């Protein structure tokens, strides 16, 4: 496999799974040309006039959709670890004797480890999509036939929109749907919240199958997925395990170190002047991100400040901000707990968004760059503010990119990280896998201090008189290395064998994930 050094100095292949690739050219340096993907023109003549697209079962739908060897089949991950549909789908595909499927999920979870047997027997050729847990491990060990392609949520939309990935059949599991194919995620026994990750699939796939366990009379509204894009509807008994789709409650971290990080972030937003009337922020659903919200709320209350919008993944903590008048809107891409789902369903100011609105880099702007501050995590950062979110320092691919890369475009990107995990330092000389160039990362907050990217002179100036422990990143690293008894061991990687690539938001190749030697 031929590798070249890209503009970030990382070795990347120029061809992946038979498709030519463009190496990363630098932040905002790649200009796309050409035209968006063009789905075939359909006609009402070929669809039931009464709008009833129900077929007997998923196998029938796949047959009608013309499934055959080598096709690309997509699924979404709104059900997270509670997904029943994807495993069922591949059981059927296997039973039908279909081979060499390119599986194009928006993400995979531990529940999908059932699919390892289909990766082994050739039912699935390879995965293009985030791999959380077992499938990532399988891939890391060099066992997948093809090469994995990791994309951000926005990058997935971009890849389909731009025609890099043509989806033959999209299978969209929907908590509620009607016979016409209109579908929503905000209600039904397996309610998950938004369905935005499946939007691009519904718009561009040749054939679209909606699978639901909660069929309602036309019209199912909201129609997060529009029936006008759907070919077949399948009713099954249960699409997922609600307890694993959303948690009944999401919990704030109890770790004193992480609470300190959360408090620092809240103070930073105030001291840097970001927390002001009409501001906006995005925070994930990790314990630290959750913990930061109540701290910030106290400060907003004290200063009588109201946000214009906050961005989810939503949780009860964001819902509280909305209900108590601390923000006009939640712009939500996914929902992590039941209170988030309820709020999305019932509060008109809790708004469903999608990778198209929020993250697609090949659009006429997107929401991510409008956000004043994004609070994100990382598995590793390096002294140049570069960050990794997909591999651990042992080289194993265990996480997806999610919206992380897209959020780096916020006006102030803050990484909240403990300085070490399991006695392994998180600040390294060079990240194992580059997911986000340091150029876009403004602040790193650890329990030992806050490092501001030297490029952001404005931020450095803004917090000059703050009581926050603003420190040099290298200094923090040195301290942590000494506490942990030295730098972390280098992962044992086979640099001849690329097992996956990390795409940048513009479709270029930012880095390679290499095979881990298992001895």
Q: Which spans of this chain sit near a second copy (rule: CB under 8 A)?
A: 28, 30-45, 47-51, 53, 161-162, 180-181, 208, 217-219, 221, 223, 226-231, 278, 308-309, 329, 331, 348-349, 351, 356-357, 360-367, 369-370, 409, 411, 506
Output the CA torsion 455→261→282→136 (10° steps).
90
Q: Which is nearer to a second copy, 18 or 34 (CB)?
A: 34
Q: Which is nearer to a second copy, 150 or 408 (CB)?
A: 408
Least distance from a second copy to the Cβ atom of residue 62, Å = 17
282, 291, 284: which is closest to 263 by C-alpha? 291
Q: Which is nearer to a second copy, 50 or 519 (CB)?
A: 50
Q: Which is nearer to a second copy, 366 or 432 (CB)?
A: 366
192, 146, 199, 131: which is closest to 170 by C-alpha? 199
Distance CA 250, CA 248 (A): 7
Other CB atoms within a 10 A radius of the CB of residue 470 amount to: 17
Q: Which is nearer to a second copy, 97 or 365 (CB)?
A: 365
Q: Which is nearer to a second copy, 46 or 237 (CB)?
A: 46
Tell whether omega for the bond before 416 is within 30 degrees of 0, i.e. cis.
no
171, 195, 228: which is closest to 354 by C-alpha? 195
Least distance from a second copy to the Cβ atom of residue 74, Å = 17
Least distance from a second copy to the Cβ atom of residue 411, Å = 8
Integer distance in angstroms from the first to the last C-alpha of the chain? Answer: 23
SS3 call for 479: helix
Least distance from a second copy to the Cβ atom of residue 223, Å = 8
Q: Which is nearer to a second copy, 360 or 515 (CB)?
A: 360
**Looking at residue 113, what DSSP letter applies?**
G
Contact 344, 366 (CB under 8 A): no
Place of tokens 């997904």: 83
Least distance from a second copy to the Cβ atom of residue 163, Å = 9
Distance CA 276, CA 297 (A): 12
Distance CA 302, CA 486 (A): 43
Other CB atoms within a 10 A radius of the CB of residue 498 amount to: 22
C-alpha distances out from residue 79 to 132, 193, 333, 371, 413, Å? 13, 9, 13, 27, 28
Least distance from a second copy to the Cβ atom of residue 119, Å = 32
Least distance from a second copy to the Cβ atom of residue 344, Å = 13
Least distance from a second copy to the Cβ atom of residue 489, Å = 39
Tell whether omega for the bond before 510 is within 30 degrees of 0, i.e. cis.
no
Q: Which is nearer to a second copy, 39 or 469 (CB)?
A: 39
């Amino acid at each position: 496999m031929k590798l070249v050094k890209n503009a970030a100095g990382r070795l990347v292949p120029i061809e992946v799974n038979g498709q030519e690739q463009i190496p990363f050219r630098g932040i905002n340096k790649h200009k796309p040309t050409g035209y968006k993907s063009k789905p075939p023109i359909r006609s009402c003549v070929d669809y039931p006039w009464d709008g009833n697209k129900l077929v007997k079962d998923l196998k029938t739908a796949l047959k009608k959709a013309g499934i055959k060897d080598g096709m690309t089949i997509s699924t979404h991950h709104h059900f997270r670890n509670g997904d029943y549909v994807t495993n069922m789908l591949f059981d059927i595909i296997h039973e039908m004797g279909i081979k060499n499927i390119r599986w194009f999920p928006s993400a995979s979870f531990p529940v999908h480890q059932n699919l390892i047997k289909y990766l082994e027997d050739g039912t699935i050729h390879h995965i293009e999509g985030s791999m959380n847990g077992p499938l990532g491990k399988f891939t890391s060990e060099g066992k997948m036939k093809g090469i994995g392609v990791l994309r951000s949520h926005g990058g997935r939309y971009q890849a389909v929109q731009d025609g890099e990935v043509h989806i033959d059949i999209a299978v969209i599991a929907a908590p509620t749907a009607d016979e016409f194919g209109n579908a929503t995620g905000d209600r039904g026994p397996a309610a998950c919240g938004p369905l935005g990750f499946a939007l691009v699939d519904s718009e561009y796939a040749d054939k679209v199958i909606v699978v639901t366990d909660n069929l309602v009379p036309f019209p199912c509204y909201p129609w997060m997925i529009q029936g006008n894009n759907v070919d077949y509807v399948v009713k099954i008994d249960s699409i997922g395990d609600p307890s694993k789709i959303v948690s009944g409650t999401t919990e704030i971290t109890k770790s004193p170190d992480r609470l300190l990080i959360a408090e620092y972030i809240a103070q930073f937003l105030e001291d840097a002047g970001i927390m002001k009337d009409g501001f906006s922020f995005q925070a994930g659903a990790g314990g630290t991100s959750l913990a930061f919200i109540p701290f910030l709320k106290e400060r907003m209350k004290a200063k009588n400040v109201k946000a214009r919008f906050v961005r989810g993944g939503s949780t009860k903590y964001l819902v509280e901000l909305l209900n108590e008048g601390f923000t006009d809107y939640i712009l939500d891409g996914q929902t992590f707990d039941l209170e988030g789902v309820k709020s999305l369903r019932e509060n008109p100011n809790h708004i469903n968004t999608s990778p198209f609105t929020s993250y697609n880099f090949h659009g006429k702007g997107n929401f991510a760059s409008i956000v004043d501050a994004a609070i994100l995590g990382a598995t590793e950062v390096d002294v140049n503010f570069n960050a990794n979110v997909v591999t651990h320092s042992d080289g194993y691919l265990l996480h997806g990119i999610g919206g992380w890369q897209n959020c780096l475009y916020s006006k102030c990107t803050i990484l909240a990280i403990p300085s070490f995990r399991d006695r392994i330092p998180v600040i390294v000389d060079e990240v194992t896998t580059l997911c986000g160039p340091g150029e876009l990362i403004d602040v790193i907050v650890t329990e030992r201090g806050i490092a501001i990217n030297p490029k952001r002179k404005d931020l450095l100036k803004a917090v000059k008189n703050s009581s926050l422990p603003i420190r040099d990143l290298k200094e923090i690293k040195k301290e942590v290395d000494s506490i942990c008894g030295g730098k972390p061991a280098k992962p044992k990687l086979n640099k001849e064998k690329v097992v996956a690539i990390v795409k940048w938001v513009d479709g270029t190749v930012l880095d390679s994930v290499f095979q881990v030697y298992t001895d």
